Amino acid sequence: MSDIGARALHVLQTVFGYPAFRGQQADIIEHVASGGDALVLMPTGGGKSLCYQIPALLRDGVAVVVSPLIALMQDQVDALAEVGVRAAFLNSTQTFEETLRIERQVRTGDIDVVYVAPERLMTQRCLDLFDDSPISLFAIDEAHCVSQWGHDFRPEYIRLSILHERFPQVPRIALTATADQLTRAEIAQRLQLEDARQFVSSFDRPNIRYQIVEKTNGRKQLLDFITTEHAGDSGIVYCLSRKKVEETAEFLAEHGIKALAYHAGMEYTLRASNQSRFLREDNIVMVATIAFGMGIDKPDVRFVCHLDLPKSIEGYYQETGRGGRDGLPASAWMAYGLQDVVLQRRMIDESEADDSFKRVLSSKLDAMLGLCETLSCRRMRLLDYFGEAAGPCGNCDTCLMPPVSFDGTVPVQKLLSAIYRVDQRFAAGHVIDVLRGADSERIGQWHHDKLSVFGVGSDRSEQEWRAIVRQAIALGLVTVDHEQYSSLKLTEAARAVLKGEKKVQLRQYQKPVKQKRQAAPKGYAELELSGAEQAIFDKLRWWRVETARAHGVPAYVVFQDATLREIAKVKPGSLDELRGVSGVGEKKLASYGDEIVALIGELA
């Protein structure tokens, strides 16, 4: 091991309290600490922060962390302070006096890490400050925000290329949890990191169980899922519209779940208060638009739900990745139906983007539909999107309850014929009524009861036909025209199916069944606590709540659940025994060690 590697490991163990590096962390840290540039792709919960925090402690000067959300900077600084790292932030929430004090600390190198938003960094005052200061490195977090093809595009990120031009000798590390090949190339180009070493970790999050269900009554299905699988757990529920966010939060609250709302249209103080409560309290369910979540460090989010179809796999992966950051089992659950597909298509068609950008958005939506409709392992499909090969995971709904596939050529031919016979001018509901032979005024008005396809699909329910329409859209045989009242239209690919030249394999429609509690994933049996251990764990959590409240920080900043679980299992009777627990560094040992050992002694 090199000298830098040995020093890095020492910092990891004594400051952060972890026994060993994970994955590529050691290589990344040694490269950056030695002065190299890096582009790091690592899944949420994979330990990205350590990849710049440890080099910040190994190099002389102040590390500048570019972070897109000022609302989270206080918690990030508090978490570093808990382990003895001198950190601060510069943002618009501070008084002029506070800003001057921190700027002095940056100039004199009296702090290790300073967080700034990209907008703040671009000001002449901030650039001049860094010109006059000993800067050890620049870390650009959530680097996918630089990509116009990405799901969280932030225009101010594009200007961050100035760091390379103005501070050519200072190493830069750009980090993100989600980037396909296109986004990765754009990050490197826009941040002038073409010559940087790229570190691409596995995108797999084996502790997350993926489940996508047919949407019938979304809110009721959500309630059943939470009460059956995750009663009393912290979680996030994503909705597409602000109105739906508020209605869903109210619905959950009416049924005894501590649910809060979050969207960009809320009054700022209420939005900030709800975010703070979610971070600092246990058992809160946050119902939100995708405006919520980037940079959220809460490690004990046990489930992430989607009541609406995400726009892309990158967005879905980023959002579901907020669950289970502590490595313990978590769920990613989605309810999805035909209307979701129609709505997303309409949003693309009605957007002001140019045609090339719309094509990119459409291809990303197609990939998302493919994930929803896949007959194979969802994790395999997800990882394949990011260019990573994998086998069946055994921890997603298609592995645990394999879907029944069937030759759907004939029913799809009936659907395509019906769309053609009604002149490709009607939406899905009307086409399905024609197929099922419905007796309605609208059918009679258009004389569609006289068509040869009228009633040819009467052997299938409306829900079955909706599933077939959805899959036909996902397979690229049918598209939705929003300029003509969401009418279904045939694509060029439909011709081969209609002529019988191409067969179609479909997923058999399954009636929704009441949620049953799933067993924990394989390999997590060691996480189960005995009765005595559970009592210690519960007592530790109560102690943590009181301690966090006294310190004015989120509970997980004191200790994560995974650390408390290990303490409950080890039952340390001395500070030396506690020192060996993962997540207990020297500063935390000094701050809390005596209290924990005494508490264990009372319960032993």
Q: Is the pLDDT of residue 525 over 60?
A: no
List the structure tokens of 414. 């009936």
Tally of CA atoms within 13 A in the half-sphere of 151 that contains its CB: 22
Where are the domain boundaries for CATH 3.40.50.300 in the chain?
A: 3-200, 208-400
149-158, 315-324, 330-339, 482-491: lowest mean pLDDT where? 149-158
Please state the rounded mean pLDDT for residues 125-145. 94
Token pair for 61:
């000067």
pLDDT of residue 553: 86
Decide: 183 and 317 in contact? Cβ < 8 Å.
no
Residue 551 has pLDDT above 90, yes or no: no
In CATH terms, 529-603 corresponds, of 1.10.150.80, 1.10.287.70, 1.20.58.390, 1.10.10.10, to 1.10.150.80
pLDDT of 516 strictly over 70: no
248 Cα distance to chain centroid? 20
* Residues paired with residue 304 on neighbouring β-strands, in sequence order: 236, 332
Question: What DSSP letter does each residue of 281-296 carry, written as one string?
Answer: SSS-EEEE-TTS-TT-
According to CATH, what is the number of the domain 3-200? Answer: 3.40.50.300
Distance of CA 225 to the CA centre of its chain: 19
Closest CA to 564 of 537, 539, 588, 599: 537
Q: How would DSSP label each residue in 378-436?
A: HHHHHHHHTT------SSBHHHHSPPPEEE-HHHHHHHHHHHHHTTT-S-HHHHHHHHH
Q: How confident is the model at residue 419 (pLDDT cuts 50, 70, 90)?
A: very high
Q: What is the mean pLDDT of residues 559-563?
A: 91
Alpha carbon 521 to chain centroid distance? 20
CA proximity to 304, closest of 334, 328, 327: 334
CA 50 to centroid of chain Cα atoms:
19
Contact (CB, 8 A) for 32 and 173: yes
Residue whose C-alpha is closest to residue 18's, from 54, 63, 52: 54
Question: What count of Cα atoms within 13 Å lies in the side-chain half-sphere of residue 408?
Answer: 23
Report, as an integer, the average pLDDT of 31-55. Answer: 93
Q: What mean pLDDT do residues 448-457 have? A: 94
DSSP of 133-197: S-EEEEEE-SGGGG-TTSSS--GGGGGGGHHHHH-TTS-EEEEES---HHHHHHHHHHTT-TTSE
Mapped onto helix, strand or coil, the DSSP state of residue 260 is strand
Contact in structure between 559 and 583 (CB atoms under 8 Å): yes
Q: To 10 degrees, the CA torsion angle through 22, 28, 31, 32?
A: -120
Answer for the pair 285, 225: CB distance below 8 angstroms, yes or no: no
Alpha helices (H) along 213-284: 218-229, 242-254, 268-280
* Average pLDDT for 281-308: 88
- Cα–Cα distance measured from residue 533 to residue 540, given in angstroms and rounded to the nearest whole number: 10
Residue 445: partners with Cβ closer than 8 Å, 6 or more residues away: none
pLDDT tens by residue, 376-406: 999 999 999 988 999 999 999 999 999 989 9
What value does the mean pLDDT of the chain take? 90
What pLDDT, on a 0 to 100 scale, did the predictor assign at position 515?
57
Q: Which CATH class is domain 208-400?
A: alpha beta
User: Could you give the 3-state DSSP secondary structure of residue 234?
Assistant: strand
- 488 versus 280: the higher-pLDDT residue is 488
The Cα 9–Cα 214 span in angstroms is 48
Q: How much is the pLDDT for 146?
A: 85
- Its pTM stands at 0.85
State the amino acid at position 558 in one-letter form.
V
- Distances in whole angstroms, Cα of residue 448 to Cα of each of 426, 430, 437, 460: 11, 10, 9, 19
Beta strand 478-481 with 405-407: parallel, antiparallel or unpaired?
unpaired
- 164, amino acid identity: H
Tokens of 364: 């990303």
189-227: b or e for each residue (b if 16 or more CB lie within 10 Å)? ebbbbeebeebebbbbbbbbbbbbbbbeebbebbbebbe
Least confidently predicted of 10-14, 277-281, 504-508, 515-519: 515-519
Are 197 and 188 in contact, with CB atoms under 8 Å apart? no
Fold of the domain built from segment(s) 407-506: Arc Repressor Mutant, subunit A (1.10.10)
Q: Where does CATH 1.10.150.80 sit in the chain? A: 529-603
Q: Please determine, for residue 180, whether its predicted confidence score (pLDDT) is greater than 90.
A: no
pLDDT for the residue numbered 517: 63
3-state DSSP call for residue 446?
coil
